[in-house]
Amino acid sequence: MIHLFLHFIKKIDMNHYETVFILNPVLSEIQIEEAVKKYVSLLESQKCKIVHKEDWGLKKLAFPIQNKNSGFYHLIQFEGEGDIINALEVEFRRDERVMRYLTVKLDIHAQAWAKKRRKKIQSKVKV
């Protein structure tokens, strides 16, 4: 009974996050896949649950970053404890392929919106 209670408390303690990162546009498709796998593996190794991943593709930047006018955008939504964010962002800073990144904690309203958005995307894929 105590084990079940602790498991329930652990579930409640999990925070919902969304991270978007921009990869250098000169990377090959294989290098992009490797970079995304690296961050997914990092999150999974820290007992995070990957909720959703999206490849937004090559997008024009609002302003140049590192003399580049475009970049490959990726989104990862995940559940995990707060201490993973520091480790994730240290890896982003160390990786030369990553031009920019942003991680946000989702509140209840943002979680509902993200879930609605995922359902909309999934319905488009099925059609």
Give CA–CA dist 48/39, Å, rounded.
11
Domains of the chain: 11-121 (3.30.70.60)
Instruction: Choose among 50, 47, 63, 58: nearest CA to 23.
Output: 58
Q: pLDDT by residue for the chain (127 residues), tens digit each?
A: 555 554 554 555 689 999 999 999 999 999 999 999 999 999 999 999 999 999 999 999 999 999 999 999 999 999 999 889 999 999 999 999 999 999 999 998 888 888 888 888 778 766 5
**Contact in structure between 63 and 12 (CB atoms under 8 Å):** no
pLDDT of residue 41: 96
Query: Residue 73, CB half-sphere, CA atoms under 13 Å: how many?
Result: 12
* Token pair of 108 as six digits: 């209840």
Kind of pairing, strands 15-23 and 49-65? Answer: unpaired
pLDDT value at residue 67: 94
